[in-house]
């Protein structure tokens, strides 16, 4: 089974457990608020990648109920939960690597939890695709585990399943953003204990597409 099919299988299998554990996104409230405040329209159109059970979508709609949100995810079961948790939004089953096929333009794109499952090369392509989908002054939000890319590999997930996870580095992420004409407006890190007790660092970047 390839890595993508395995990720889909795991998230379909454990969608309800993931919802129970990760619906609270309070760790990211401050950075999500920065994203919201950077949006130039009150009724902004948002594309969320790897939306899961709608945890980020739910926070955004509670804060800004006039947002129009399309959430996409590989997992049908995650999409089903997202539709229950956020009936105001629209959700579709889609691989985030396919967003280049979308025709609509957006005011904001959120990649909150997908980059740990994408290679360096795939991440760079997704950033470029996000640039093409955003209107001028559109906002991109990225959150991903930060470490030496060479330390990427098979790990035991919170469900006990083995999954291949990628660490990413600030250097090539910021370079890809600059190449795609983004200006970084916020960069921060969050630390929390991982499953094995070791420190995990989340790198969070908010950037605006320059006119």
Model pLDDT for residues 40-51, shown as the tens digit of each residue = 999 999 999 999
The torsion of the CA quartet 116, 122, 123, 125, rounded to 10 degrees, works out to -160
Q: Which two tokens stand for residue 124?
A: 């760079």
Q: How far apart are the first and last CA of the chain?
A: 43
Model pLDDT for residues 76-109, shown as the tens digit of each residue = 999 999 999 999 999 999 999 999 999 999 999 9
Kindly give, in sequence order, each residue whose CB lies less than 8 Å from that of residue 91, ignoring residues fewer than 6 positions away: 51, 54, 70, 71, 72, 73, 79, 82, 83
CB of 24 within 8 A of CB of 59?
no
Q: Which of 137, 145, 154, 158 is nearest to 114 (CA)?
A: 145
CB of 142 within 8 A of CB of 173?
yes
Check pLDDT > 60 for residue 156. Answer: yes
What the chain holds in terms of domains, given with CATH numbers, is: 3-209 (3.40.50.150)
Model pLDDT for residues 39-80, shown as the tens digit of each residue = 999 999 999 999 999 999 999 999 999 999 999 999 999 999
Per DSSP, 99 falls in state: G
Model pLDDT for residues 8-45, shown as the tens digit of each residue = 999 999 999 999 999 999 999 999 999 999 999 999 99
Q: What is the pLDDT of residue 159?
A: 73
d(CA 64, CA 130): 22
């Amino acid at each position: 089974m390839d890595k993508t099919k395995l990720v889909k299988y795991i998230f379909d299998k454990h969608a309800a457990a993931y919802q129970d554990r990760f619906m609270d996104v309070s760790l990211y409230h401050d950075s999500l608020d920065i994203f919201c405040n950077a949006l130039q329209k009150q009724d902004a159109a948002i594309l969320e990648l790897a939306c899961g059970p709608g945890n980020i979508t739910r926070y955004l709609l509670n804060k800004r109920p006039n947002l129009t949100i399309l959430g996409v995810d590989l997992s049908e079961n995650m999409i089903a939960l997202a539709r229950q948790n956020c009936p105001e939004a629209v959700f579709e089953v889609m691989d985030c690597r396919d967003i280049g096929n979308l025709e609509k333009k957006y005011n904001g794109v959120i990649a909150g939890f997908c980059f740990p499952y994408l290679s360096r090369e795939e991440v760079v392509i997704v950033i470029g695709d996000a640039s093409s989908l955003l209107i001028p002054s559109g906002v991109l939000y990225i959150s991903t585990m930060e470490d030496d890319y060479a330390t990427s590999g098979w790990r035991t997930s919170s469900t006990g399943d083995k999954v291949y996870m990628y660490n990413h580095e600030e250097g090539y992420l910021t370079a890809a953003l600059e190449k795609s004409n983004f200006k970084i407006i916020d960069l921060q890190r969050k630390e929390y204990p991982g499953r094995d007790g070791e420190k995990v660092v989340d790198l969070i970047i908010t950037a605006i597409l320059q006119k």
